[in-house]
C-alpha cells in the first residue's frame, strides 16, 4: 500500500477512520468518542499501525461548531460545542502533529457536501445545498464551486420559521432558540412532541405533514438565499420515505411559482433529492479534504 490518505469523520459518539484513496478502496474502522485525549490517541495509533509511513495526508470532517479557516490561530479546533470536554479541542493540530502529515479540516456537513459533489447526488454542480436532519439539523452549501464558510460556517439548523402554536403546542427543543428549525424538526423534537421514536411513527401519522411543513419552510428560506441548483437532503428523519415526497409538494406550495426556474417549477423530483452516499458521506468527505491537503 503506497501513498494512501487518511479520512476521519469525527462524530459525537464515534470517530470513523478510513485509509485508502477512493470510495472503492477505503477501509474504515470505528473508534468510540470518549475524552479528547483518549479518542485522538486511539485515532493516531490506528493510522500509525494501519498506514504507517505510507500515509500522505489526513482529512477530518468534524462535529462542531469548528474553526475551518486555515491560517486562523484556532484552525482545526472544535470551538463552542456543548459536548463535555471537547470545547476548545485542537483536533487537526493534534492529529497532524501525531502523524506528521498535512491535515484538511472542515465541518461534518461540509465534508458530506464535498463527497456528494464528488461521487454522489450533486456531481457536476457548482451550486447546491446539502442538508441533514437527524439528531440535529445542519447544512453545507457549495457556491461558485467552493464551500461557503464566511465568518465561521453555516448553522442552517437555527433558522427561524413560522410555528403554528395552536396546531402544534410543542414549544421546541433547542436550548438556544426554542422553536428554531432544529428545535421543531430534528429527530429529538419529533420524539419529544409525539412521545415516539421517529422511525416508529407510521406514514399516516400527523407528525409527517407537520414535519414536511417545517422542513419546507426551512428549504424555502435556503432556496431564497442560496439559489441552489439542487438540494440534497438526508439524515435519520428522512428514513421515513413519505417525508421526501411531502416535502417536495410543500416546498412547491410555499414558493408558489415565484422563482420561475424550470428546475424548480417542473423538475422538483430532481431538485430535492436524497443523498447517494448515505452513512459514508462524512468519511468520504474527509477523504476529499485529505486529497486537497495532500495537493497543497
Interface residues with a second copy (CB under 8 A) are 65, 79-80, 127, 139, 141, 143-144, 146, 148-163, 176-177, 217, 220-222, 224-229, 254, 256-261, 263-264
Q: Which CB atom, from 124 or from 150, has the smaller least distance to a second copy?
A: 150
- Rounded CA-CA distance 106/143 in Å is 16
To which H or E segment does residue 77 belong? strand 77-78
Coil/strand/helix, residue 264: helix
Least CB distance to a second copy at residue 174 (A): 9
Q: Which CB atom, from 17 or from 231, has the smaller least distance to a second copy?
A: 231
Least CB distance to a second copy at residue 222 (A): 6
Least CB distance to a second copy at residue 192 (A): 20
Q: Which CB atom, from 120 or from 139, has the smaller least distance to a second copy?
A: 139
Buried b (16+ CB within 10 A) or exposed e, 249-274: ebbbebbeeeeeeeebeeebeebbbe
Asked whether the beta carbons of 16 and 287 are under 8 A apart, the reply is: no
List all residues 6 or more positions away from 242 whose beta carbon is below 8 Å from its beta carbon. Answer: 203, 208
Preceding peptide of 65 cis, ω within 30°: yes
Least CB distance to a second copy at residue 228 (A): 6
Least CB distance to a second copy at residue 283 (A): 24
Q: Which CB atom, from 67 or from 291, has the smaller least distance to a second copy?
A: 67
Q: Which CB atom, from 197 or from 224, has the smaller least distance to a second copy?
A: 224
Q: Which CB atom, from 20 or from 228, has the smaller least distance to a second copy?
A: 228
Least CB distance to a second copy at residue 188 (A): 17
Burial of 167 (0-12, 13-18, 19+ CB in 10 A): exposed
Least CB distance to a second copy at residue 195 (A): 25
The number of C-alpha atoms within 13 Å of 275 and in the hemisphere containing its C-beta is: 29
Buried b (16+ CB within 10 A) or exposed e, 67-96: bbbeeeeebbbbeebeeeebeebbbbbbbb
Least CB distance to a second copy at residue 220 (A): 5
Alpha carbon 261 to its chain centroid, in Å, reads 27
Strand pairing report for 4-10 and 55-62: parallel
Q: Which CB atom, from 197 or from 258, has the smaller least distance to a second copy?
A: 258
Q: Which CB atom, from 9 or from 213, has the smaller least distance to a second copy?
A: 213
Amino acid at each position: 500500500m503506497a501513498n494512501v490518505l487518511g479520512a476521519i469523520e469525527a462524530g459525537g459518539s464515534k470517530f470513523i477512520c478510513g485509509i485508502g484513496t477512493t470510495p472503492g478502496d477505503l477501509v474504515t474502522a470505528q473508534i468510540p468518542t470518549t475524552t479528547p485525549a483518549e479518542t485522538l490517541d486511539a485515532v493516531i495509533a490506528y493510522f500509525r499501525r494501519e498506514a504507517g509511513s505510507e500515509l500522505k495526508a489526513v482529512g477530518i470532517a468534524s462535529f462542531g461548531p469548528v474553526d475551518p479557516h486555515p491560517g486562523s490561530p484556532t484552525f482545526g479546533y472544535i470551538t463552542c460545542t456543548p459536548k463535555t470536554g471537547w470545547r476548545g479541542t485542537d483536533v487537526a493540530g493534534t492529529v497532524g502533529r501525531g502523524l506528521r502529515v498535512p491535515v484538511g479540516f472542515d465541518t461534518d456537513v461540509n465534508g458530506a457536501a464535498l463527497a456528494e459533489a464528488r461521487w454522489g447526488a450533486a456531481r457536476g454542480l457548482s451550486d447546491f445545498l446539502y442538508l441533514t436532519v437527524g439528531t440535529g439539523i445542519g447544512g453545507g452549501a457549495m457556491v461558485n464551486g467552493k464551500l461557503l464558510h464566511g465568518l465561521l460556517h453555516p448553522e442552517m439548523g437555527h433558522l427561524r420559521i413560522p410555528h403554528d402554536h395552536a396546531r402544534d403546542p410543542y414549544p421546541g427543543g433547542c436550548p438556544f432558540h426554542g422553536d428554531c428549525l432544529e428545535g421543531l424538526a430534528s429527530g429529538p423534537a419529533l420524539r419529544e412532541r409525539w412521545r415516539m421514536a421517529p422511525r416508529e411513527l407510521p406514514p399516516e401519522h400527523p407528525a409527517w405533514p407537520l414535519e414536511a411543513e417545517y422542513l419546507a419552510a426551512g428549504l424555502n428560506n435556503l432556496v431564497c438565499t442560496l439559489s441552489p441548483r439542487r438540494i440534497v437532503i438526508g439524515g435519520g428523519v428522512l428514513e421515513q420515505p413519505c417525508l421526501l415526497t411531502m416535502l417536495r409538494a410543500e416546498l412547491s406550495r410555499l414558493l408558489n411559482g415565484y422563482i420561475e426556474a424550470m428546475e424548480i417549477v417542473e423538475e422538483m423530483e430532481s431538485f430535492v433529492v436524497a443523498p447517494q452516499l448515505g452513512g459514508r458521506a462524512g468519511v468520504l468527505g474527509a477523504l476529499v479534504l485529505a486529497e486537497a491537503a495532500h495537493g497543497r
